[in-house]
Every structure is written in structure tokens, then in C-alpha cells.
Amino acid sequence: SSSSFCTRIAVLIFLCTWLSNCSLAVQTLFSIENSISYLVSQICTQSIADDRELFIQSLCSFALGLCLVFNNNQIQLYSTESLVKLIDERIRIDSFLEKLGILSKSEFYAKALQKPQLKLSKSSDMILDYEFAHLYETLQSLISHMLTRHDINSTVRTLIDPMSTKLYAQRALTMMTDDNDFIGRVEQININKLKEKQWIEERDIDKKKILALEQQIQEIKDKNA
């Protein structure tokens, strides 16, 4: 039903928002029994013709991808390498990335990203908001980058001649550069989120000051009336 779909979407959006930029949240999710198995099972479901279920799969993929990006590797069972292996063996990386990208092709996403302030006739029409669409837009590329890099590295390790030390050294240098770039992008996201939070707090303070000033002006007008 429409109500059930909206509820599932809301829960997954809450989960993804909680996981984003928070390694402790990811670690907590790992400690919840069957949480990762559930996400994987949802993503693995085949032969889905319903666009809504495909949308659910994409959100589950995003949640699992966030676990990969913000993993602090404190839980050995779900280390970064283990998660990549799990995704590759149970879902396959190319299939995972395809399902991850479904959300970006949806009408819900396009509308949310274009209009920060949505005008809706009823609450059930709101599937995604601008903030979440922007979050997805920012972090999807990091997830894709991380998985694609691991996939390429695996292929290179399989095909490369162990005696070709020069080629191996060049590849290692490229990997280090990619890692530094990736870390820098994550740090920049955190900085931007902090700036945005500070801006919102300052805006709220200014709003309160304006409201107080308007009340004072109104009181003066009332006295002089």
C-alpha cells in the first residue's frame, strides 16, 4: 500500500541520514543482529517489476554503501575489506552500483533536488526532500569510487605479473593518490556540513531577534494608538 511504502522510505531515509558522516552510527548498526543481512537480502531480490520496490532497493544500497564509506573498522566481521567482499560475492559490485543509481533516475529525486521547498497537496506525496537528495548526490559518488577502486585493484592483482615491480609500484602510487583524494573529499563534506549547521544556527538566532524586535515595535504602536 501507499502508506506502507512511505513508511519504509521514511525508515530508510532516517537510517541513511543517521549513518552519513558518523562512524559510530555505522558501528552501532553492525552490532545489531541481522541488520546487514537484511539490507543485503533486500538488495539481492531479483525480478522486481515494481518501481517502488526498486526504489527501496536503491535506498538499501545507499545505506549499505554508507556503512562502507564511514566504516571505522572496529568490528572485524564487517571490516571494509569484508564488506566489499560481501557485496561482490552476494550482489556483485556492478549490480550493486546499478541498484544504487536507481534513486538518481527517479522522479522523486529529480523533484526534490530541483525544489528545496516542495509544494505538496498532501503529506503522502512527499517521498524525498531536498536535504536528503543533496546528501545522496554528494555521497553516491564516494560509494561508487570506493567500490570501483576495489574492483579495479582486484582485477589488477589477478592479471599483473608479480615480476613487473615497476608497474606494481606505479599502481600503488596511484592507489595512494586516490585514497588521499577520497579522504580529502570526505573531510570537506564534514567541513561543509559543519558550516551549514553554523549558518542555520545563526539564521535561527537572527530570526528570533527580528521577531523580538517586531514584537517591541508592535507594543510601541499599541501604546501610541
63-66-67-72 Cα dihedral, nearest 10 degrees: -160
- Contacts of residue 123, Cβ cutoff 8 Å, sequence gap at least 6: none
| Alpha-carbon span 163 to 167, nearest angstrom | 9
Encode pLDDT of 81-118 as tens digits. 999 999 999 999 999 999 999 999 988 888 887 877 76
pLDDT of residue 185: 62
pLDDT over 70 percentage in the chain: 74
pLDDT, tens digit, 9 for 90 and up, residues 168-191? 445 444 544 555 555 566 566 667
pLDDT at 25: 94
pTM of the model: 0.65
> Which segment of 115-124, 148-157, 216-225 scores lowest on mean pLDDT?
148-157
Give 1's pLDDT tier (boundaries 50, 70, 90): low
Give the position of cell 585514497: 179
- Do residues 29 and 23 make contact, with C-beta atoms less than 8 angstroms apart? no
- What pLDDT is recorded for position 210? 83
- Which residues, other chains included, contact 78 with Cβ-Cβ below 8 Å and sequence gap of 6+? 30, 36, 67, 71
* Domain boundaries along the sequence of the chain: 2-159, 162-225
**Alpha helix (H) residue ranges in 45-159:** 51-69, 80-90, 93-100, 107-114, 130-159
Superfamily of domain 2-159: Leucine-rich Repeat Variant (1.25.10.10)
Residue 222 to residue 138: CA distance in whole angstroms: 51
